[in-house]
Amino acid sequence: MAPATGRRLYRTINFVAGLAIFFFGYDQGMMGGVNTSPDYVEVMKLGYSTYEGPSQGYVATITHPTRQGGIVSIYYLGTLVGCLMGGVLGDRLGRIKSMFIGGLWVLLGATLQCSAQNISWMLCARIINGIGTGILNAIVPVWSAEVATHTSRGAFIAMEFTLNIFGVVVAYWLEFGLGFVGDGRSQVRWRFPIAFQIIPVLAFMACLRLMPESPRWLVKAGRLDEAKQVLGMLRSEDGNLEDKKVVSEYTDIVEVVDLEHAHASRNTYWAMFWGIGSGDLHVARRVQLSIWLQIFQEWVGIAAITVYAPTIFAEAGYDARKSQWLSGLNDVTYMLATLMAVVTIDRWGRRVGLWWGAVGQGISLILAGAFARLLKDNPAKASQYGGAAAFFVFLYTAIFGATWLTIPWVYPTETFPLEVRAKGNAWGVVGWSIGNGWLTLLNPVMFSSIGENTLHIFGAVNFLTIPIVYAFYPETANRTLEEMDLLFASDSPFVWEEEKHFKKLKEAQVAKHEQERSMHESHAVSKA
C-alpha cells in the first residue's frame, strides 16, 4: 500500500500508470524506425539495402511490403487477444495483479523481438508482445478512472496520454540518432530500440507493488474495509475515513454494486455484446459505443497521416534527413498538443472535444490532400505548395492530439457498470485493434491506388462522426462512475431521451436520499 495520501497519492498513481502508457506509445512508434533499418530488412528478408554515400549511409529498399505490413499488423492480433484476456483477469483478480501479468507478457515478447533471427520468430514475438500490451490497455485506463475523482477523471487519463506521445517521440529520436551509428547497417539500430521498451515496463512493475488497488474493485470483491481505507487515502489529505467525501462515495459504490449483482448473468463477453440479462443497464449499447468510437478514432485519419506525412515532406523538396527532422518535429507538436486535452477534456466535455476535433481534422485533411495534389501537378512550386501541405499535416496532428487521441480511450473506462468495467474497456480495445490492424494493411493499398485522395476520404469520415456523436454519445464528463447506470437506463439510444430519463431518475434518487437522511435525523433526535 502506498504511504502517500490525497493529491500526492494521485500524482504517484498518475506517474505509475503513465509508465505503462509511455511504453504503449513507445512500442507503437518504435516499429517505424525498425522497418527502415537495413540490417532488419535483410534479416527478415523484406528487401535489400544500398550505400547512398557518407551523408545517408545504407538505405533500405522494401521489395515485400505485404510481408513488412504483416509483421506490423500481427501485433494488433495480439492486442485483440490480450485485451479480452485482460478484461477477464481485471474483473476476477483485480487491477494490480492483472497489470503485473500484462507486464510479464510484454517482457517476454520484447526479449524475443530484440533477439529475433528470422520472420517466423519475429511474428511470434510480436503476437506475445501484443497480448501483454492488450492486457495493459484494457486495465491501466480502468484503474486510473476508478481512483480519480469524477471532476478530474478525464484530465487524469489525458495527462497519461501526454506520456504516451512522449513515448512516440523518444522512439523516433532514439532511432534517428542510431541511424548515424557506423554506416547505418548495424544490428544495434533495430535491436536496441526494441530492447529499450523493457526499461519502463520493469519500472512500472516494480512500482505496482506499492500502489493501492481500485477501491471499486475491492467493494465488488467484498473487501469493504480495504476499499474504505483506500478511498480515505485518495479523497482525504490525512487519510480520514470519516471525511464526508469518503463516506458519500463509499456509500454510492456499495449501493451500485448491490444493484449490479442482481444482473450477474450478463458478465460474459457474449452476454455483454448481445445485452443478455442486462435489463435496463443496456450493456450491449455501451459495448457498441465503445467499439465504434475506437474504430472511428483510426478512421478520422491519424493512421493515414502517420503513413503519408514523410511522403509529403519528401515531395515538398526536402531531402531525406530534413524529412526525418520534420517528422520528428511533428511528433513533438503532437505531444505538446495533448496538454490541451488535459485542460479542456473535463471543462468542455467529451462531446464538444469530439465535435471541434472532427471539424478541424476534416478541414486539415482535405486541404492537406488538395495541396499534395497541387504539389504533384506543379513541381516548380514545390516550396509553396509543399509548405502548405506540411502545415496542414502539423495542424491535423495537433488537433488530433488535443481531442480524438484521448477521448475514445477515456469514454469506455467511464461508461460500464463496475461488475464488467474491465471487460467493457476491453471491448474498446477490441475496436482499437480492429481499426489499427485494418488500416495498417489498407493504408498502403489506398495510397498506392488513389494517392492523396485517401486523405479526402478520411476527411469526409471526420464530418460523418459529428451527427453520430450528437445522436448516440451522451456526455460523461463531471458525472460519477456510479451515475452512468442512470444515464444509460433509458430504453431509447438517443442522447436527448437518455438525458431526459437521467434527470428524472437523478431527482428521484436525491429525493430518496433526503428522505432517508431526514428519517435518520428524526430517529437520532427521538433516541436523545
> Is the separation of the CB atoms in 61 and 47 below 8 Å?
yes
Structural domain harbouring 481: 274-489
The reply to whether 113 and 45 lie within a common domain is yes
Q: Is residue 47 part of a domain?
A: yes
The reply to whether 467 and 505 lie within a common domain is no
Assigned C-alpha cell, 153: 477523471
199-248: pLDDT as tens digits: 999 999 999 999 999 999 999 999 999 999 999 999 888 878 888 888 88
The reply to whether 470 and 506 lie within a common domain is no
The reply to whether 337 and 289 lie within a common domain is yes
The reply to whether 171 and 93 lie within a common domain is yes
The reply to whether 335 and 464 lie within a common domain is yes
Domain boundary among 189, 204, 220: 220
Per-residue buried b or exposed e for 67-101, using 16+ beta carbons within 10 Å of the residue's own CB: ebbebbbbbbbbbbbbbbbbbbbbbebbbbebbbb
The reply to whether 520 and 474 lie within a common domain is no
Q: What is the CATH number of the domain that holds 107?
A: 1.20.1250.20
Residue 491 DSSP class = S
* Cβ neighbours of residue 447 closer than 8 Å, sequence gap 6 or more: 304, 307, 308, 311, 454
Q: Is residue 13 part of a domain?
A: no
Q: Is residue 248 part of a domain?
A: no
The reply to whether 432 and 508 lie within a common domain is no
Tell me which residue has cell 437521467: 502
Closest CA to 57 of 173, 176, 179, 140: 179
Rounded to two decimals, what is the model's pTM?
Answer: 0.88
The reply to whether 441 and 503 lie within a common domain is no
The reply to whether 343 and 368 lie within a common domain is yes
Q: Is residue 161 part of a domain?
A: yes
The reply to whether 457 and 499 lie within a common domain is no
Q: Is residue 451 part of a domain?
A: yes
Q: Is residue 5 part of a domain?
A: no
Tell me which residue has cell 503485473: 100
pLDDT tens digit at each of 528 positions of the chain: 445 777 889 889 989 999 999 999 999 888 888 888 899 999 999 998 888 777 677 888 888 878 888 888 899 899 999 999 999 999 999 999 999 999 999 999 999 999 999 999 999 999 999 999 999 999 999 999 999 888 888 888 888 889 999 999 999 899 888 888 877 788 999 999 999 999 999 999 999 999 999 999 999 999 999 999 999 999 888 878 888 888 889 988 988 888 777 665 568 899 999 988 888 889 999 999 999 999 999 999 998 887 677 777 777 767 667 777 888 898 899 999 999 999 999 999 999 999 999 999 999 999 999 998 998 888 888 778 888 988 999 999 999 999 999 999 999 999 998 888 999 999 999 998 898 888 877 887 788 788 889 999 999 999 999 999 999 999 999 999 989 999 999 999 999 999 999 999 999 988 887 887 777 777 666 665
The reply to whether 160 and 295 lie within a common domain is no
> Is the separation of the CB atoms in 312 and 386 below 8 Å?
yes
Q: Is residue 291 part of a domain?
A: yes
Separation between Cα atoms, residue 312 and residue 294, nearest integer Å: 27
Separation between Cα atoms, residue 403 and residue 114, nearest integer Å: 34
How many domains is the chain partitioned into structurally?
Answer: 3
> Is the separation of the CB atoms in 266 and 278 below 8 Å?
yes
Q: Is residue 4 part of a domain?
A: no
Separation between Cα atoms, residue 88 and residue 100, nearest integer Å: 14
Separation between Cα atoms, residue 438 and residue 458, nearest integer Å: 14
pLDDT of residue 528: 59
- Cα 16 to its chain centre, rounded Å, is 16
